[in-house]
Chain A
Amino acid sequence: MATSPVLRLDSVSCWFGSVAALSSVNLAIAAGERVALVGPSGAGKSTLLSLLNGSLMPTEGEVWVLARSLNKLSGQSRRKLQRQIGTVYQQHNLVANLSVIHNVNAGHLGRWPLWKAVVSLIWPQQVLVAQQALTQLGLGDKLYARTERLSGGQQQRVALARVMVQNPAIVLADEPVASVDPARSHNVMQLLCDSVRQLGQDRTLVVSLHDVALAKAYCDRIIGLRQGQIQFDLPSAAVGEQQLTRLYALEDAA
Chain B
Amino acid sequence: MQFYALCRRSVISGLCGFAFLFLGGCGAVDSGDGSSEGTDAAADTAADVSTASVEPLSIGAIPDQDPEMLQRLYSRLVDYLSAELGVPVEYEPVTDYAAAVTAFKVGDLDLVWFGGLTGVQARLQVPGAQAIVQRDIDESFHSIFIANTASGLEPIDDISGLKSLMGKTFTFGSESSTSGRLMPQFFLKEAGVALTDFKGEPGFSASHDATLKLVEAGSFDAGVVNEQVWLDRVAAGEVDEGKVLAIWQTPPYYNYYWLVNADKLNAEYGEGFTDKVQTALLNLNASDPQQAEILELFGAEKFIETENDNYAEIEAIGREIGKINE
Complex: A in contact with B (CB within 8 Å): no
Question: Chain A interface (Cβ within 8 Å of chain B)?
Answer: none
